[in-house]
């Protein structure tokens, strides 16, 4: 055992061993608990991000709305809690909701939740002119209970304005099947129930949470966080919504993310009119070792939504411009002549705990079938590698992430997903973002993504790649620029 000879050395050892898992380029609560992103908006030249928050314990409790602002959705400044559960209609919690900017004011719509009351969930409004201090509306609850077509589970209002009409989606269920309800209003305060936008078929979930509806590349897309057989999953429905009183017509359904820690995402329109998505980068009932350090929960990196070329799938790509926050520390390309057959390791490069990896696969080479394996080694010590493994197999048309060796004391699994056959004839770029306790993988057009939390021991990290088939043409490893503050 090492003898500690002075106080500083002792302190260094303690702080090194007490792993806090704090992230570098993701929003997390300053202290306490975080779940869903809420009220995502661009107001007075800044992004506002609110979130489900319990400030007093790193566990879910009566929900507050935490609040931060950002210019790039990578660097954040914490602001005071925006909403407290302090009214008779929301004293059990200010549950999830959304924001609208209208006539210079920021409108927050949320669910007031009170256990044991009937109705237990109602929709509420709070407004602000400075984007910091919010006033709950005198007419609250603006929707005092569910319609007959819904039930007591009636939450997560997603509101937008089109022309002079305000629209609100609310997640609900009826007879054990999830539903999305649509309301309309002329002023954001007085609402009338319009109709059921979509109902679950058998097997599509017993409760639908956090609905979101918008247009991407000319098609309507509905995103739902589904409670199904007691588990949680995020799906998208691509289809048509021909007019305001019509139900949603579903054409294609798919999973938005294939990883283990992705739930309750919300979208909004960003500064460049792109459709941006942030998700909760955790999941109900997941082990959260950071609770020992007084916090839990984080949001994903910002992602921009696109339809795939054939219009049948929804893709998420990292928000354009994100790369400016990283500096390349290693680049390899085939032209430079080095043989890749034996793989590549970044062992000699100091990566820190936060970095990005970019791998390009060449379409011309994809005719040579085989397996391309990207092995992401997040930490190496005493010969025992903690790692997340990303595998792309164009022969079997399967891709997966493997987190079985990712964390200390937290079980992982293999997360497979089908690879579209069309990818055999395309150039594919795989982008990986590693932060202290998270990994996000984006492949190709973004229709394959994986979001994971991981809990490795602290220490040096490296990236390793194996490329049996010889497709990889270029690799860039970039380090997060720590001092790149707003």
CA dist 160 and 169 (Å) reads 9
Among 156, 212, 402, 445, which residue sits at the site for ligand FRU (rule: CB under 6 A)? 156
36 lines the binding site for ligand FRU (CB under 6 A): yes
Instruction: Give the nearest distance from C-beta 152 to ligand FRU in angstroms.
Output: 13
Instruction: Give the nearest distance from C-beta 38 to ligand FRU in angstroms.
Output: 8
* Closer residue to ligand FRU, CB minimum distance, 91 or 362: 91
Among 35, 267, 375, 400, which residue sits at the site for ligand FRU (rule: CB under 6 A)? 35
Euclidean distance between the first and the last CA atom of the chain, given in angstroms as a whole number: 44
How many residues of this chain interact with ligand FRU, rule: CB under 6 A?
Answer: 14
* Closer residue to ligand FRU, CB minimum distance, 64 or 461: 64
CB 107 within 8 A of CB 129: no
- Collect all residues with Cβ–Cβ distance below 8 Å to 285 and sequence separation of at least 6: none
264 lines the binding site for ligand FRU (CB under 6 A): yes
Assess whether 358 carries a catalytic annotation: no
Structure tokens given for 60: 């879910």
Instruction: Give the nearest distance from C-beta 207 to ligand FRU in angstroms.
Output: 8
Report the site for ligand FRU in 57-76 (rule: CB under 6 A).
63
Q: Which of 12, 17, 36, 130 is catalytic?
A: 36
* Residue 383 per-residue DSSP state: T
Residue that is written with structure tokens 């061993």 in the block: 17
Among 209, 212, 282, 353, which residue sits at the site for ligand FRU (rule: CB under 6 A)? 209
* Closer residue to ligand FRU, CB minimum distance, 52 or 346: 52
* Closer residue to ligand FRU, CB minimum distance, 264 or 476: 264
* Closer residue to ligand FRU, CB minimum distance, 123 or 290: 123
CB 263 within 8 A of CB 242: no
Among 25, 89, 95, 450, which residue sits at the site for ligand FRU (rule: CB under 6 A)? 95
* Closer residue to ligand FRU, CB minimum distance, 260 or 462: 260
Among 19, 28, 37, 52, which residue sits at the site for ligand FRU (rule: CB under 6 A)? 52
Cβ neighbours around 466 below 10 Å, total: 19
Instruction: Give the nearest distance from C-beta 111 to ligand FRU in angstroms.
Output: 6
Instruction: Give the nearest distance from C-beta 482 to ligand FRU in angstroms.
Output: 31
Instruction: Give the nearest distance from C-beta 40 to ligand FRU in angstroms.
Output: 15
CA dist 170 and 156 (Å) reads 6
CB 281 within 8 A of CB 26: yes
Main-chain dihedrals φ then ψ at residue 290, nearest 5 degrees? -70, -15
* Closer residue to ligand FRU, CB minimum distance, 36 or 173: 36
155 lines the binding site for ligand FRU (CB under 6 A): yes
* Closer residue to ligand FRU, CB minimum distance, 225 or 290: 225
Cβ neighbours around 240 below 10 Å, total: 13
- Collect all residues with Cβ–Cβ distance below 8 Å to 246 and sequence separation of at least 6: none
96 lines the binding site for ligand FRU (CB under 6 A): yes
256 lines the binding site for ligand FRU (CB under 6 A): no
Beta bridge partners of 431: 358, 442
Sheet holding 77-83, edge to edge: 77-83, 64-70, 46-54, 32-43, 295-296
Tally the residues of the chain: 486
Instruction: Give the nearest distance from C-beta 36 to ligand FRU in angstroms.
Output: 5
* Closer residue to ligand FRU, CB minimum distance, 117 or 474: 117
Structure tokens given for 396: 């079997």
Burial class (CB in 10 A: 0-12, 13-18, 19+), 186: exposed
Instruction: Give the nearest distance from C-beta 102 to ligand FRU in angstroms.
Output: 23
x-or-dash string of contact with ligand FRU, 107-126, rule CB under 6 A: ----x---------------
The pairing of beta strand 121-128 with beta strand 295-296: unpaired
282 lines the binding site for ligand FRU (CB under 6 A): no
Structure tokens given for 220: 């309507």
Sheet holding 303-307, edge to edge: 263-269, 275-280, 303-307, 314-318
Instruction: Give the nearest distance from C-beta 52 to ligand FRU in angstroms.
Output: 4
- Collect all residues with Cβ–Cβ distance below 8 Å to 138 and sequence separation of at least 6: none
Q: Please provide the DSSP assignment of 169-228 as one string.
A: EEEEEETTEEEEEEEEESSSSSEEEEEEEEEPPTTS-SEEEEEEEEEETTEEEEEEEEEE
User: For residue 310, how far is the Cα from the chain centroid?
Assistant: 25
Beta bridge partners of 212: 223
Which residues are catalytically annotated?
Answer: 36
Chain residues in the site for ligand FRU (CB under 6 A):
35-36, 52, 63, 95-96, 111, 155-156, 209-210, 225, 263-264
């Amino acid at each position: 055992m090492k003898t500690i000879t002075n106080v500083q050395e002792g302190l260094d050892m303690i702080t090194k061993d007490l792993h806090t898992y704090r992230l570098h380029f993701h929003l997390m609560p300053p202290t306490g608990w975080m779940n869903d992103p809420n009220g995502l908006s661009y107001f007075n030249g800044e992004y506002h991000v609110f979130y489900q928050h319990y400030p007093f314990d790193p566990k879910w409790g009566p929900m507050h709305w935490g609040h931060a602002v950002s210019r790039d959705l990578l660097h954040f400044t914490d602001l005071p809690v925006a909403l407290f559960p302090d009214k008779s209609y929301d004293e059990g919690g200010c549950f999830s909701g959304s924001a609208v900017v209208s006539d210079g004011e920021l409108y927050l719509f949320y669910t007031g939740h009170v256990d044991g009351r009937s109705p237990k969930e109602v929709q509420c409004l709070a407004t602000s002119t400075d984007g910091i201090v919010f006033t709950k509306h005198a007419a609250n609850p603006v929707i005092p209970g569910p319609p007959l077509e819904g039930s007591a589970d009636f939450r997560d209002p997603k509101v937008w304005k089109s022309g002079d009409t305000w629209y609100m989606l609310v997640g609900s269920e009826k007879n054990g099947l999830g539903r999305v309800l649509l309301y309309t209003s002329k002023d954001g305060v007085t609402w009338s129930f319009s109709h059921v936008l979509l109902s679950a078929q058998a097997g599509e979930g017993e409760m639908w949470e956090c609905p979101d509806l918008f247009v991407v590349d000319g098609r309507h897309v509905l995103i739902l966080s589904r409670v199904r057989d007691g588990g949680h999953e995020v799906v998208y429905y691509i289809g048509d919504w021909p007019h305001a009183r019509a139900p949603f017509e579903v054409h294609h359904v798919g999973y938005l993310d294939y990883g283990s820690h992705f739930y309750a995402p919300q979208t909004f329109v960003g500064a460049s009119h792109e459709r941006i998505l942030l998700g909760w980068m955790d999941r109900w009932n997941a082990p959260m070792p950071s609770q020992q350090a007084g916090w839990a929960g984080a949001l994903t990196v910002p992602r921009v939504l696109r339809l795939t070329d054939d219009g049948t799938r929804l893709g998420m790509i990292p928000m354009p411009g994100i790369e400016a926050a990283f500096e390349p520390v290693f680049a390899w390309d085939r032209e430079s002549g080095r043989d890749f057959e034996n793989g590549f390791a970044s062992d000699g490069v100091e990566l820190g705990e936060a970095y990005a990896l970019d791998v390009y696969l060449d379409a011309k080479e994809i005719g040579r079938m085989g397996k391309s394996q990207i092995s992401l080694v997040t930490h190496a010590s005493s010969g025992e590698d903690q790692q997340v493994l990303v595998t792309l197999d164009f022969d079997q048309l399967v891709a997966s992430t493997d987190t079985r060796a990712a964390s200390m004391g937290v079980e992982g699994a293999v997360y497979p997903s089908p690879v579209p056959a069309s990818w055999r004839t395309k150039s594919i770029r795989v982008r990986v973002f590693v932060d202290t306790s998270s990994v996000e993988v984006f492949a190709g057009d973004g229709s394959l993504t994986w979001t994971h939390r991981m809990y490795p021991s602290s220490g040096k990290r490296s990236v390793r790649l194996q490329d049996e088939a010889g497709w990889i043409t270029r690799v860039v490893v970039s380090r997060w620029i720590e001092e790149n503050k707003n």
